[in-house]
Amino acid sequence: MLQEIATRVEEIRKKWEEDGRRVSSLKELEEVRIRYLGRKGLVTALFAALRELPPAERAEAGRLLNALREEIQGEIERLRTELQAAAEAERLRREAYDFTLPGVWRGVGKLHPLTQVRLEIERIFMEMGFDVASGPEVETDYYNFEALNIPEDHPARDEWDSFYIGEGLLLRTHTSPVQIRVMKSRKPPVRIICPGRCYRRDTPDATHFPVFHQVELLWVERGLTMAHLKWIIEEFVRQFFGPGYEMRFSADFFPFTEPSAQVHIRRRGGPWLEIMGAGMVDPAVFEEVGYDPEEVTGFAFGLGIERMAMLKYGIDDIRLFFQNDVRFLGQF
């Protein structure tokens, strides 16, 4: 009967209003759609009942049913659009990048400026035909002093306030003991450099530190003169610093060289900085290692690596090299 159909349509509409309101996801919406409009849905079942009505009532009942179905269908479409938009917004929110956040910085390591300078010095001298030698940092009194013509009571020892660490042992005060070690183990000609760490009981200031680095150079052969020494140093300074630097030789004294010199460098217009002691190997040293001073001559120098780096990079305090502050170290 038409009346029954109309009542049923109202019931379903009420129920739908509640069910429709409760839907909160696309999945729930699909479940509700099937419950109302699916093949066995509530609305679909009513359409089946139409056939049992008298023909005169069918048109009116059909109109009521169609209206209900369209209403529900329209509402479902509206909800679907809404829920899809919400899901999309949620997805974008979840996948969004915040481009204003700082990135994850992976620092790139670098060699310490003193290592860079040492490698550059080694490169220059290796290209000139020098070998790289080495010796111990804990040295005996004999190699550090005695064999270098600095006997026990020699006043020159005062120049090297040293770290003694027991019977006849000390932290080497310079790389010159390597000269002795090399000459005792090889026959001339000898052409070596020896970079290494040295220690002196110095009070730290802008140009002194108790730990520092030197490069020793030794060239022994027939017929070498002070002119060769000077050329080697000039050529080295030219290659290492390039233009814009000045060099100064002056007389000095070392027990193991005769004559002896010191070399100062400055950036044109800047202050002079002593970078090395140098000289012709003293005959007493040759005799000590078993070389004949009538046969060979030679020269040596000891170069301060920190001071080379300070001049090259314009660093005015040697202590910066040893503070391990990456803000400083990273600049080179």
Task: Tell whether residue 174 is a contact of ligand PHE (CB under 6 A).
Answer: yes
Nearer of residues 174 and 191 to ligand PHE, judged by Cβ: 174
Contact mark string toward ligand PHE, 181..220, x via CB under 6 A? ----------------------------------------
Exposure b/e, 112-146, CB count within 10 A at least 16 = b? ebbeebbeebeebbeeeebeebebeeebbbebbbb
Minimum CB separation from ligand PHE for residue 102, in Å? 48
Nearer of residues 46 and 224 to ligand PHE, judged by Cβ: 224
Task: Tell whether residue 277 is a contact of ligand PHE (CB under 6 A).
Answer: yes
Task: Tell whether residue 300 is a contact of ligand PHE (CB under 6 A).
Answer: yes
The one-letter code for the residue type at 33 is: R
Nearer of residues 199 and 301 to ligand PHE, judged by Cβ: 301
Nearer of residues 33 and 174 to ligand PHE, judged by Cβ: 174
Minimum CB separation from ligand PHE for residue 174, in Å? 3
Select the span of 22-30, 66-74, 243-251, 299-307 touching ligand PHE (CB under 6 A): 299-307
Select the span of 101-109, 223-231, 294-302, 306-314 touching ligand PHE (CB under 6 A): 294-302
Total residues contacting ligand PHE by CB under 6 A comes to 10
For the chain, counts of helices (H) and of strands (E): 11, 9
The H or E element containing residue 65 is: helix 55-95
- What's the CA gap between 53 and 14, in Å, rounded? 24
Terminal-residue alpha carbon distance, the chain: 97
Distance of CA 247 to CAs 29, 267, 286, Å? 89, 9, 29
Task: Tell whether residue 177 is a contact of ligand PHE (CB under 6 A).
Answer: no
Nearer of residues 72 and 229 to ligand PHE, judged by Cβ: 229
Residue nearest to ligand PHE (CB): 302
- What's the CA gap between 230 and 97, in Å, rounded? 64
Beta bridge partners of 211: 199
Nearer of residues 149 and 176 to ligand PHE, judged by Cβ: 176
Of 304, 298, 266, give the one whose Cα is nearest residue 279. 298
- What's the CA gap between 89 and 182, in Å, rounded? 77
Nearer of residues 43 and 194 to ligand PHE, judged by Cβ: 194
Beta bridge partners of 247: 265
Nearer of residues 249 and 332 to ligand PHE, judged by Cβ: 249
Task: Tell whether residue 279 is a contact of ligand PHE (CB under 6 A).
Answer: yes
Contact mark string toward ligand PHE, 29..68, x via CB under 6 A? ----------------------------------------
- What's the CA gap between 121 and 272, in Å, rounded? 20
Footprint (CB under 6 A) of ligand PHE, residues 216-275: 254, 257
C-beta contacts of 12-21 below 8 A and 24+ residues apart: 12/36, 12/42, 12/43, 12/46, 12/68, 13/68, 13/71, 15/42, 16/71, 16/72, 16/75, 20/72, 20/75, 20/76, 20/79
| 29 contacts 79 by C-beta, under 8 angstroms | yes
Task: Give the footprint of ligand PHE on this chain (CB under 6 A).
Answer: 174, 176, 254, 257, 277-279, 300-302
